Chain A
Amino acid sequence: MPQPYNTYLRETLQTLLREKELERWLAFEESSLPLKPRPVFPETSEACDTVVFNGFCVQNLATYLSRYKGRRIGVLVKGCDRRAIAVLVEEKQLAREDLFLLGVPCPGMLNRTQLLTEFPGLDADQIAEEGGHLSLKISGETRTLQREDYLLPACRVCHHRTPEDVDALLDPPPLDAPETEESFATIVSSVGEMPQNDRAALFASEFSRCILCYACRNVCPLCYCDTCFTDSLTPAWMTASPEPGNIFFYHVNRMMHMAGRCVACGSCEWACPEHIQLHLLFGKITADVRDLFAYEAGIDKDAPQPLSHFSEDDPDEQIG
């Protein structure tokens, strides 16, 4: 992202911090690792001076809001952050009026692992995000890559990049990067059309790497239960060891709880130390809920959540 944009962003945050009497912002700053900005929570104007926004600000900031309940907080929101906040408000976990939402039209987030695998040692100052492409300066030469080829799976199929119903929207957007034509149906059909044995082998292989660190749960803005079913001792639904039974039980149950709520931000897959393709799971529930209920979490704010709402008109042909 060009430096002037970060200057504009910081000035905007500083002005709004003062004018809107915010306790603090939730935003991003660079970390000690290349291409891995980290969340920052500036309370003062000076502290806003480290804030950045670029194509690696993947993490959903709504996750942190439960720690600031009832306080006047400003949040820099991408489309998916905004959607997660909408679900949290709907589920009465947050009060919308406590928050000041500054929207940033998201250009789609980039796959750090993919870039670092292809270009080992790549540093932030070697990569320039320009519209629909990336310019890499590697040992004196410039390489041009299509941004679309390096988007994270969730971002490839996202069509809600610009947050709606925000208190202010950054204008101009940081980048003018086109969306792809793909959707969650693309992901689902690629797996759904596999022979059953191959599909089972794919999931067995992906989840054999799970170490049950629960980063996917903890980074998720919508996993906020005080006691997760994984931690319940009475009854003990599962144990701590990373054995196939525990692993499948955990992931399938988490996804069951996410159906109709998941905003498909992809933070879980991004945080996974094993790069397990969690988008295959959340992509499937997202596509199913959309097909069955014509519902998108955090977008259809006037419609009740399909799986936590009962109506007398619900089809009941399966009930004996």
Chain B
Amino acid sequence: MNRLAEHPLQILDAKDLTAFMDALAAGFDLQVPLVAGDATRFGPYRKDAPCDFSQTPPAHPAKTLLLPNPEVLFRYTKDAGGRITLSEDPLDADLRVALGVRACDVRAFEALDAVFLRRGRVDTAYQARRDSLCILGMGCVAPSPLCFCDRMGSHPFDTHGMDALIIPLTGGWVLEALTERGRKVLETAASLLRAASAEEKRQVAALRTKGRERKSGAPVDFEVLAGTVAASYKDPFWETLATRCLGCGICTFVCPVCSCFTLEDTGKTLSGGRQRAWDSCMFPAFTREASGHNPREGMDRRLKQRFFHKFSYSIENGEPPGCVGCGRCVEKCPAAIDIREIVDFFSAEAPDV
């Protein structure tokens, strides 16, 4: 991605926000955090569908933009003569613009890239969606008390992987183009933008400093964590945690990094298809074999798998850590299983040599 040498700050007044989104939507497939119940999740912008940029982060991860659930892999039809025709949906080629993606979710995209692009084979549909996604990210002025991205190597104003950064101020948004692609997208709404004043620049600098200095806890040393987690297979910690885990899929579905899937065949004799749907390692059926044997029958084994994958296997394999500190699973787990407590427990333990 072509990073721009200079990042001029432009201002969008709050009153022009709808006009701004209309302008973007006229040129691109615009994805925004749509309101659904008391949550927000990314979906296509529509004038009549309310969106809300205040949830920090949006309740549902932005991975939905890269991993639709379900995702059709191919379709088939069978004609009267018994001839079967297979077809695939066209790959995404047109630019999609995601507005209001937070730094945690963008970091998570890199963990997804490792799975879908860099394990010796490329998932072409994923790559097409990834390449066509222009990320107009948003800085987190008021991070949730459950967020801990600062401990996971990021911070609320991290611009890594973004095409532009939005910083919400009281009277509107500050827009900062970071890449050539981001600049071009913002240009389509140029008539609504003006250069930032000295006072606005000062406010932005102050917010950035505050964001960068956020300290929700000690930064995590992933090498140490990977070692202690790897050595913890028989630690009673896991069994204690498993006593209250309900084995539902909330944590994996709201996790921006979790990407395990299942394949399902749909349709009838004459037409149908195969699709990919999100799965969860918390479900017993995830590893149940055709014989009926399940190597991860117990809840403790399934819990261990989830966290070993996040903090041990991913690091060992040279991939990004499986947690970006978004705090969503902490908020949503009915049994109050707190990934921060797991990180703390194993960060405090000396590696078992």
Query: Known contacts being A32-B336, A241-B264, is A271 close to B341, with CB within 8 Å?
Result: no
Check: A273 CB closer than 8 A to any chain B CB. Answer: yes
Check: A144 CB closer than 8 A to any chain B CB. Answer: no
Q: Are A271 and B334 in contact (CB under 8 A)?
A: yes
- Chain B residues with Cβ under 8 A from A242's Cβ? 69, 277
Query: Known contacts being A240-B279, A241-B264, A242-B69, is A117 close to B246, with CB within 8 Å?
Result: no
Shortest distance between the CB of A63 and any CB in chain B (Å): 7
B interface residue numbers (CB < 8 A to A): 36-39, 69-70, 145-146, 243-244, 246-250, 253-254, 262, 264, 266, 275, 277-280, 283-285, 330-332, 334-336, 338, 340-341
Q: Are B243 and A241 in contact (CB under 8 A)?
A: no
**Bound Cα distance from A297 to B331, whole angstroms:** 32
B-side binding surface: helix, strand, loop or mixed? mixed
29 A-B contact pairs sorted by A residue (CB < 8 Å): A32-B330, A33-B146, A38-B244, A39-B243, A39-B335, A40-B244, A64-B244, A67-B243, A117-B38, A121-B145, A208-B36, A211-B249, A211-B253, A213-B248, A213-B250, A214-B249, A215-B246, A215-B249, A215-B250, A218-B247, A231-B284, A239-B70, A239-B277, A242-B277, A270-B334, A271-B334, A273-B39, A273-B250, A276-B37
Q: Are A273 and B332 in contact (CB under 8 A)?
A: yes
Q: Are A274 and B37 in contact (CB under 8 A)?
A: yes
Closest to A37 in B: B336
A197-226 contacts to B, CB under 8 A, are: 206, 208-209, 211-215, 217-219
Closest to B39 in A: A274
Closest to A230 in B: B285
- Chain A residues with Cβ under 8 A from B330's Cβ? 32-33
Q: Nearest 4 A-B pairs (CB), nearest first? A: A31-B336, A241-B70, A38-B336, A241-B277
- Chain B residues with Cβ under 8 A from A206's Cβ? 37
**Bound Cα distance from A211 to B251, whole angstroms:** 12
- Chain B residues with Cβ under 8 A from A218's Cβ? 246-248
Check: A286 CB closer than 8 A to any chain B CB. Answer: no
Question: Among the listed A31, A113, A231, which residue makes an inter-chain contact with B338, where contact means beta carbons less than 8 Å apart?
Answer: A31
- Chain B residues with Cβ under 8 A from A31's Cβ? 336, 338
Q: Apart from A213-B248, A241-B69, what are 15 other A-B pairs with CB-CB below 8 Å?
A: A113-B38, A208-B36, A211-B253, A213-B253, A214-B283, A215-B246, A215-B248, A215-B250, A215-B334, A218-B247, A240-B70, A240-B279, A241-B275, A273-B332, A276-B37
Question: Among the listed B37, B69, B338, which residue makes an inter-chain contact with A275, where contact means beta carbons less than 8 Å apart?
Answer: B37
Q: Are B340 and A32 in contact (CB under 8 A)?
A: yes
**Bound Cα distance from A59 to B340, whole angstroms:** 22
- Chain A residues with Cβ under 8 A from B249's Cβ? 211-215
Question: Among the listed B69, B264, B334, which residue makes an inter-chain contact with A219, where contact means beta carbons less than 8 Å apart?
Answer: B334
Question: Among the listed B247, B250, B341, which residue makes an inter-chain contact with A32, where contact means beta carbons less than 8 Å apart?
Answer: B341
Closest to A24 in B: B243
**Bound Cα distance from A157 to B69, whole angstroms:** 37
Q: Are A214 and B277 in contact (CB under 8 A)?
A: no
Shortest distance between the CB of B191 and any CB in chain A (Å): 36
- Chain B residues with Cβ under 8 A from A273's Cβ? 39, 250, 253-254, 332
- Chain A residues with Cβ under 8 A from B244's Cβ? 38-41, 64
Q: Mark A178-213, 1 if CB is under 8 A from B, else 0.
A: 000000000000000000000000000010110111
**Bound Cα distance from A194 to B36, whole angstroms:** 22
Question: Among the listed A40, A41, A63, A240, which residue makes an inter-chain contact with B246, where contact means beta carbons less than 8 Å apart?
Answer: A63
A interface residue numbers (CB < 8 A to B): 31-33, 36-41, 59, 63-64, 67, 113, 117, 121, 206, 208-209, 211-215, 217-219, 231, 233, 239-243, 270-271, 273-276
- Chain B residues with Cβ under 8 A from A214's Cβ? 248-249, 283
- Chain A residues with Cβ under 8 A from B70's Cβ? 239-241, 243
Q: Are A240 and B39 in contact (CB under 8 A)?
A: no
Shortest distance between the CB of B258 and any CB in chain A (Å): 12
**Bound Cα distance from A231 to B37, whole angstroms:** 28
Q: Are B338 and A32 in contact (CB under 8 A)?
A: yes
Q: Are B283 and A231 in contact (CB under 8 A)?
A: yes
**Bound Cα distance from A215 to B247, whole angstroms:** 8
Shortest distance between the CB of B103 and any CB in chain A (Å): 22
- Chain A residues with Cβ under 8 A from B248's Cβ? 213-215, 217-219, 271
**Bound Cα distance from A273 to B329, whole angstroms:** 10
- Chain B residues with Cβ under 8 A from A243's Cβ? 70
- Chain A residues with Cβ under 8 A from B36's Cβ? 208-209, 274
- Chain B residues with Cβ under 8 A from A38's Cβ? 244, 335-336
- Chain B residues with Cβ under 8 A from A32's Cβ? 330, 336, 338, 340-341
Shortest distance between the CB of A51 and any CB in chain B (Å): 14
Shortest distance between the CB of B148 and any CB in chain A (Å): 12
**Bound Cα distance from A271 to B337, whole angstroms:** 13
Question: Among the listed A117, A219, A233, A240, which residue makes an inter-chain contact with B278, where contact means beta carbons less than 8 Å apart?
Answer: A240
Shortest distance between the CB of A210 and any CB in chain B (Å): 10
**Bound Cα distance from A271 to B244, whole angstroms:** 13
- Chain B residues with Cβ under 8 A from A59's Cβ? 334-335
Question: Among the listed A36, A39, A209, A239, which residue makes an inter-chain contact with B266, where contact means beta carbons less than 8 Å apart?
Answer: A239
**Bound Cα distance from A224 to B336, whole angstroms:** 21
Shortest distance between the CB of B299 and any CB in chain A (Å): 8
Shortest distance between the CB of A107 and any CB in chain B (Å): 21
**Bound Cα distance from A233 to B254, whole angstroms:** 25
**Bound Cα distance from A231 to B38, whole angstroms:** 29
**Bound Cα distance from A241 to B276, whole angstroms:** 8
- Chain A residues with Cβ under 8 A from B275's Cβ? 241
